[in-house]
Amino acid sequence: MSTYDVIVLGGGPGGYPCAIRAGQLGLKVACIEEEEVGGVCVNWGCIPSKALIANAHFLTKSHHIGDAGIAISGVSVDPNKMQDWKNGIVKKMTGGVRSLLKTNGATLVEGRGKLVDKRTIEVTKKDGSTERLTAQKAIVIATGSATIQVPGFEFDGERIIGAREAVNLRAIPKRLLVVGGGVIGLELGMVYQSFGSELTVVELTPNLLPGTDPDCVRVVEKTIAKRNGVVFKSAKAEGWEKTANGVAVTIASAEGTKKVECDVVLVAVGMKPRSRGIGLEEAGVAIDQRGFVTTNERCETNVPGIYAIGDVSGVPMLAHKATKEGEVCAEVIAGKAAAKDWVTVPGIIFTDPEIATVGITEAQAKERGLSVKVGKFPFSVLARALSIMETEGFVKVVTETKTTRVLGIHICGPNASDLISEAALAMEVVATAEDIALTIHPHPTLGEAMMEAAQHSLGHAIHIANR
Ligand SMILES: Cc1cc2nc3c(=O)[nH]c(=O)nc-3n(C[C@H](O)[C@H](O)[C@H](O)COP(=O)(O)OP(=O)(O)OC[C@H]3O[C@@H](n4cnc5c(N)ncnc54)[C@H](O)[C@@H]3O)c2cc1C
């Protein structure tokens, strides 16, 4: 029996930073991982998908860079080479995590862990042997989430696949049908569309990317259509059958039932927390109806000494939220006055163009009875956007009318994923539109769109007409 101060169950972007921070704070810590450190994010989520997306972006640009006087010919996609390159990045990242755990004094225990009581975890190793670890101070549940499967669309790894398989394809499907028009479905669907797949998206609700600013969604939807993609909304993928050339998916909507033939079906309807079968119920840990472990702002569950972080502890299911919770949790365990008191968690959708948001949308503000002003600045008139040939989209700033306090910022366009950090900081420091408008943004940059959008909300943008 090995004894630690803290045992972290799961080595994803929640678990490993928690173990590292605990080690930094002088705690004796073990991190248990049954697959590879880095979790979904590093192994088959954020990192692999963004590597492929970067390639898709480059390829798309190569198609029209000729307009700017750069002639490129013979551009082609080698999916095998691309996978090897992408796997190299993943390997580098997982190697880095392993080494960081070690450097910070955290012990990596490889195997599947299960609570046997409120203080003990039994780890089953790959060779079948078991080891029991005892935690003197805390057990942190960081087991993350798993893909939701749709009945009738069970993964076969060939025709019917999930995101895990989709980031590992060594052949570009000629025709790809995506079930689920949410973040993961559209990110990966658009990647393969850029690589040449004919894309069909089937979304159950009336809108793609439910909950996202509708103006942003419209820009992305327009891009999908421009590339000959077909989107079925308020539609259900009911089943599929094998055909001579692939599979035919039955799609039901108010207009009736239709069959669409494709080569590969990507099912991307979301992720569910991995809270079952690891001894939590037996230990008395409260789990809500959706399967999330219930925690407070200190990452504590209802059972003293048991904590939960990351995807398993609730939405938003995002890597950076998991990491911040991991750090907070380690500090709470070490006796520091830490808590989850952030104002906002930025969210990014790596479609083409990207969408990045913080805070609430105009519609959500109105639902809350708030009087709002909106400032919007399009990339189509921004010099920097023109010079990089990426003029789709805009920055939209939603502010409270009376105070001009920033309530939300929604960006659709080039490098939205980088631009959003300024918006997140603005919300953290409770900035007003004046604060952003008065901040000198260097020229010529994409960031100027943020300044101009704030100015627009105040009625004095320089480079577009004000109301
Ligand atoms: C395709 C895709 C793309 C994504 N892109 C982004 C993105 O761009 N940005 C972003 O912020 N988020 C993204 N996400 C979400 C992100 O991956 C998750 O929010 C993040 O990984 C959650 O971290 P976590 O540590 O809570 O859980 P996980 O990453 O799920 O890690 C949990 C770890 O625990 C291990 N584990 C589970 N149970 C046990 C057990 N009993 N014993 C031992 N080990 C166990 C698992 O093997 C896993 O390694 C994406 C997700 C997917 C699927």
Q: How far is the CA of 328 from the centre of ligand 1 (A)?
A: 18
Mean pLDDT for the chain overall: 97
Question: What DSSP assignment string belongs to 251-275?
Answer: EEETTEEEEEEESEEEE---EEE--
Mean pLDDT of 405-409: 98
What pLDDT is recorded for position 222?
97
Element (H, E) at 9: strand 2-9
Q: Per-domain residue ranges for the chain?
A: 2-147+272-333, 160-269, 347-458
Ranges of H-type helices in 334-393: 362-367, 383-387
Testing ligand 1's pocket by substitution, the residue of 31, 42, 46 carrying the most ligand atoms inside 8 A of its CB is 46
User: Could you confirm whether domain 347-458 is CATH 3.30.2320.30?
Assistant: no
What pLDDT is recorded for position 43?
98
Q: What is the dihedral of CA 205, 206, 208, 214, to 10 degrees?
A: -130
CB 237 within 8 A of CB 202: yes
The CATH class for the domain spanning 2-147+272-333 reads alpha beta
Q: Would you say the CB of residue 406 lies under 6 angstroms from ligand 1? A: no
E-state strands within 118-246: 120-124, 130-141, 145-147, 160-161, 175-179, 198-202, 230-232, 235-242
Q: Would you say the CB of residue 273 lies under 6 angstroms from ligand 1? A: no
CB 254 within 8 A of CB 234: yes
Beta strand 145-147 with 271-273: parallel, antiparallel or unpaired? antiparallel
What pLDDT is recorded for position 79?
98
Q: Residue 1 pLDDT > 90, yes or no?
A: no
Give the atom of ligand 1 at the shortest distance from the alpha carbon of 112: 42
Residue numbers annotated as active site? 443
Q: pLDDT by residue (tens digit) across 73-88?
A: 999 999 999 999 999 9
Q: Would you say the CB of residue 31 lies under 6 angstroms from ligand 1? A: no
Q: Does 160-269 match 2-147+272-333 at the fold level?
A: yes
Q: Residue 406 pLDDT > 90, yes or no?
A: yes
What pLDDT is recorded for position 263?
98
- The radius of gyration computed from the CA coordinates of the chain, to the nearest angstrom, equals 24
Q: Would you say the CB of residue 317 lies under 6 angstroms from ligand 1? A: yes
Give the atom of ligand 1 at the shortest distance from the alpha carbon of 167: 1
The CATH class for the domain spanning 160-269 reads alpha beta
Q: Would you say the CB of residue 145 lies under 6 angstroms from ligand 1? A: yes
What pLDDT is recorded for position 88?
98
Give the atom of ligand 1 at the shortest distance from the alpha carbon of 326: 25
Q: How far is the CA of 437 from the centre of ligand 1 (A)?
A: 37
CB 346 within 8 A of CB 358: yes
Q: Would you say the CB of residue 39 lies under 6 angstroms from ligand 1? A: yes
Atom 34 of ligand 1, nearest CA residue = 10
Distance CA 292, CA 418 (A): 30
What pLDDT is recorded for position 166?
98
Q: How far is the CA of 147 from the centre of ligand 1 (A)?
A: 10
CB 313 within 8 A of CB 275: no
Q: Residue 17 pLDDT > 80, yes or no?
A: yes
Q: Would you say the CB of residue 191 lies under 6 angstroms from ligand 1? A: no
Q: Which pLDDT band, with edges at 50, 70 and 90, does 133 fall under?
A: very high
Mean pLDDT of 210-217: 95
Atom 13 of ligand 1, nearest CA residue = 46
What pLDDT is recorded for position 427?
97
What pLDDT is recorded for position 119?
97
Distance CA 332, CA 355 (A): 34
What pLDDT is recorded for position 223?
98
Q: Would you say the CB of residue 17 lies under 6 angstroms from ligand 1? A: no
Q: How far is the CA of 319 from the centre of ligand 1 (A)?
A: 7
Q: Which pLDDT band, with edges at 50, 70 and 90, does 449 fall under?
A: very high
Q: Which pLDDT band, with edges at 50, 70 and 90, does 47 fall under?
A: very high
